[in-house]
Structure 1
Amino acid sequence: MLPLRLSAAALPAAALLLAAASTAASAHTHDTKTHDASTHDTKAHTTVPDIAGGGFETPAVPAPSLFTTYLGGQAVGPWAGGGNSVDLTSDRLWDAAEGSQSLDLNGSTSGSVSQEISTHPLTSYVVSFELAGNPAWAPALKTGELRVDGVPVKTFSFDVTGHGFRNMGYTRQTAVFTNLLKSSVTLTFASTSPGLGGPVIDDVRVRSCLLVLCPPVS
Structure 2
Amino acid sequence: MLPLRLSAAALSAAALLLAAASTTASAHTHDTNTHDTKTHTPVAGFDGGFETPVVPAPSLFSTYLGGQTAGPWAVGGNSVDLTSDRLWDAAEGNQSLDLNGSTSGSVSQEISTHPLTSYVVSFELAGNPAWAPALKTGELRVDGTPVKTFSFDVTGHGFRNMGYTRQTAVFTNLLKSSVTLTFVSTSPGLGGPVIDDVRVRSCLLVLCPPTS
Q: Where in structure 2 are there 5+ consecutive unaligned residues?
A: none
Q: Contact 2:19/2:171 (CA < 8 Å) preserved in 1?
A: no
What SS does structure 2 have at the residue aligned with 1:41?
A: helix
Q: Contact 1:140/1:159 (CA < 8 Å) preserved in 2?
A: yes
Q: Contact 2:22/2:168 (CA < 8 Å) preserved in 1?
A: no
Q: CA 1:30–1:43 in 2, change beyond 3 Å: closer, same or farther? A: closer
CA deviation after TM superposition for structure 1 residue 62, in Å = 0.1
Give 1:9-48 correspondences, 5 Å limit.
Answer: 41-48=36-43
Distance 2:150 2:18 in 1: 32
Matched, 1:198 2:153: no
TM value normalised by structure 2: 0.82
TM value normalised by structure 1: 0.80
What SS does structure 1 have at the residue aligned with 2:14?
A: helix
CA deviation after TM superposition for structure 1 residue 157, in Å = 0.2
Q: Contact 2:90/2:96 (CA < 8 Å) preserved in 1?
A: yes
Distance 1:64 1:8 in 2: 59
CA deviation after TM superposition for structure 1 residue 212, in Å = 2.6
Q: Contact 1:27/1:207 (CA < 8 Å) preserved in 2?
A: no
CA deviation after TM superposition for structure 1 residue 211, in Å = 2.0
Q: CA 1:26–1:11 in 2, change beyond 3 Å: closer, same or farther? A: farther
Structure 1 residues 163-218: Cα deviation after superposition (integer angstroms, max 9, x where no partner): 00000000000000000000000000000000000000000000001223222224
Q: CA 1:25–1:91 in 2, change beyond 3 Å: closer, same or farther? A: closer
Q: CA 1:114–1:27 in 2, change beyond 3 Å: closer, same or farther? A: farther
Distance 2:114 2:4 in 1: 46
